[in-house]
């Protein structure tokens, strides 16, 4: 054990230290560190959690990347069909990072009841559809089965079910326009087998999931013709790179577009969360650092005589500064410890108990989602510790200006 660490430990363990004039200020400094780390953890956990949750909901309805005709003009309704006889379907082997590819089609329709009507988009899917996200969204009934012959099973949102007074097992009629404007709309009857709730109103108020075979028949397409392909990837951070590789490996009449480009306004909005996180982290570290600077200055003032005696005995300035920096490190560590205990308790309580609800019409989620990862927690603690300690190097310099003779006489 070196001299500086030993001396700092004796100061911390002494009863006089705990009942000294500086004790309240030290407690405030510890509290500032604890509150700072709590706020920063909550900001990061909820910010990243919201980003991931909203992103996953958009991906659930559109895939990470869409492969469509160049002339589709980003329309929500499928235009000219695409053949499924492609080298990249059903397995995209030439591009790494692709988890799944599925064939879908969409068409505008109108649900008509005896008392009401509602405009919808029927999303036609087939046996290759990945139901991962809708398994999480399902609130009643079951998922439809499109692995066999064409059927009338559909999955409808809770939003539409509430507006039209539908329940699982009910049947309804949907009208679809034909390509020939002189012909009457095509009328189909569907059976509700499941009700989902994604919490994303923009999609819930519009999308009904049905059998793609119905849309192929309405559009007079062949069995191997679909509206577009949805691509799901393994690593979202590689989204743009995979899009570039896909465009190099598909026919020239097709185009791959990321979900971020198709829904730019949504993704620009959630990117604001990152700026908020950085701002909160900066402010909290600054506040915690200033409080620790105040506590250190009070400690130095309170131990002026000790500093004078140590200098008289031959200790150099850096050695004495290290004593107080060790002392400050202990206080920072104590603040981080309490901050982590309280912060993680709040995050886990929100994760499993859903204590804080949100307005889905504003945030697209029903409760504040949290993302908990050891990586950012360790980085946040380490970064806070280093930055606060670095900020304390400047006020500790005041020790070099203390005269041993004057310090020993100091009352």
pLDDT of residue 304: 72
What residues contact residue 106 under an 8 Å CB cut-off, 6+ apart? 76, 77, 78, 121, 122, 123, 124, 215, 227
pLDDT of residue 87: 87
pLDDT of residue 144: 92
SS3 118: strand
Report the distance separating Cα 159 and Cα 205, nearest Å: 6
pLDDT of residue 19: 57
SS3 85: coil
In the numeric block, which tokens belong to residue 109? Answer: 């329709």
Report the distance separating Cα 154 and Cα 252, nearest Å: 35
Report the distance separating Cα 328 and Cα 76, nearest Å: 60
Report the distance separating Cα 364 and Cα 55, nearest Å: 10
In which residue are the tokens 């309170």 written?
Answer: 302
pLDDT of residue 359: 75
Report the distance separating Cα 107 and Cα 221, nearest Å: 13
How do the domains of the chain map onto residue ranges?
A: 3-57+267-409, 80-226
Report the distance separating Cα 332 and Cα 198, nearest Å: 42
In which residue are the tokens 């509150």 written?
Answer: 35
pLDDT of residue 114: 79
Report the distance separating Cα 342 and Cα 215, nearest Å: 54
Residue in 254, 211, 9 with CA at minimum distance from that of residue 106: 211
Q: Are 139 and 155 in contact (CB under 8 A)?
A: no
pLDDT of residue 17: 54
pLDDT of residue 342: 93
pLDDT of residue 288: 83
Report the distance separating Cα 270 and Cα 208, nearest Å: 26
For residue 213, the tally of other CB atoms under 10 A from its CB is: 17
In the numeric block, which tokens belong to residue 176? Answer: 């679809």
Residue 225: enclosing H or E segment and its boundaries? strand 225-226
Q: What is the DSSP letter of 364?
A: S
What is the SS3 string spanning 145-160? Answer: CCCCCCCCEEEEEHHH
Q: Are 144 and 209 in contact (CB under 8 A)?
A: yes
For residue 207, the tally of other CB atoms under 10 A from its CB is: 24
pLDDT of residue 123: 93
In the numeric block, which tokens belong to residue 56? Answer: 């996953």
CA-only gyration radius of the chain, Å: 31
90 prior amide bond cis, ω within 30: yes
- Render each residue's pLDDT in the chain as its tens digit; 411 residues: 577 777 767 766 665 555 565 677 778 888 888 998 999 999 889 888 888 888 888 898 899 999 988 765 556 777 788 898 988 888 888 889 899 999 999 999 898 887 888 889 999 999 899 999 999 899 999 999 888 888 889 999 999 999 888 899 899 888 888 766 677 778 888 999 999 998 888 888 899 999 999 888 888 888 888 989 999 998 888 999 999 999 988 888 889 999 988 888 888 888 887 788 888 888 888 888 888 888 777 777 777 777 777 777 777 777 777 877 888 888 888 889 999 999 999 999 988 888 888 777 777 777 788 888 888 899 989 988 888 888 888 777 776 666 665 556 555
In which residue are the tokens 């400047």 written?
Answer: 394
Q: Tell me how far apart the terminal alpha carbons of the chain are, to the nearest angstrom.
A: 31
């Amino acid at each position: 054990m070196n001299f500086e660490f030993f001396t700092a430990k004796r100061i911390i363990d002494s009863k006089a230290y705990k009942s000294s004039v500086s004790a309240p200020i030290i407690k405030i400094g510890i509290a500032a560190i604890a509150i700072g780390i709590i706020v920063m953890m909550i900001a990061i956990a909820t910010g990243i959690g919201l980003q991931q949750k909203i992103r996953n909901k958009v991906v659930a309805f559109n895939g990470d990347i869409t492969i469509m005709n160049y002339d589709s003009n980003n329309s929500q309704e499928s235009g000219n069909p695409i053949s499924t006889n492609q080298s990249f379907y059903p397995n995209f082997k030439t591009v790494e990072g692709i988890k799944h590819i599925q064939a879908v089609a969409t068409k505008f329709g109108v649900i008509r009841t005896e008392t009401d009507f509602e405009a919808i988009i029927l999303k036609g899917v087939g046996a290759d559809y990945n139901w991962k996200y809708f398994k999480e969204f399902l609130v009643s009934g079951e998922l439809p089965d499109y692995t066999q012959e064409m059927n009338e099973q559909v999955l409808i949102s809770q939003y539409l079910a509430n507006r039209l007074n539908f329940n699982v097992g009910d049947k309804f009629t949907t009208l679809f326009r034909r390509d020939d404007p002189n012909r009457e709309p095509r009328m189909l009857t569907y059976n509700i087998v499941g009700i989902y709730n994604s919490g994303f109103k923009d999609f819930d108020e519009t999308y009904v999931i049905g059998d793609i075979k119905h849309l192929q028949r309405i559009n007079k397409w062949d069995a191997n013709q679909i509206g577009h392909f949805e691509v799901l990837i393994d690593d979202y951070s590689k989204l743009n790179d995979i899009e570039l590789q896909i465009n190099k490996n598909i026919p020239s009449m097709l185009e791959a577009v990321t979900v971020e480009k198709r829904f730019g306004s949504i993704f620009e909005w959630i990117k604001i969360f990152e700026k908020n996180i950085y701002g909160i982290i900066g402010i909290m570290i600054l506040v915690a650092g200033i409080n620790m600077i105040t506590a250190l200055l009070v400690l130095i003032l309170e131990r002026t005589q000790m500093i004078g005696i140590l200098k008289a005995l031959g200790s150099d300035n850096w050695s004495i500064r290290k004593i107080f920096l060790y002392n400050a490190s202990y206080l920072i560590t104590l603040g981080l410890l309490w901050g982590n205990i309280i912060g993680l308790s709040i995050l886990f309580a929100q994760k499993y108990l859903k204590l804080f609800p949100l307005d889905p019409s504003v945030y697209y989620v029903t409760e504040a989602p949290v993302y908990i990862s050891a990586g950012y927690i360790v980085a946040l603690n380490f970064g806070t510790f280093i930055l606060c300690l670095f900020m304390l190097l400047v006020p500790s310099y005041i020790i070099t200006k203390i005269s041993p003779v004057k310090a020993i006489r100091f009352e």
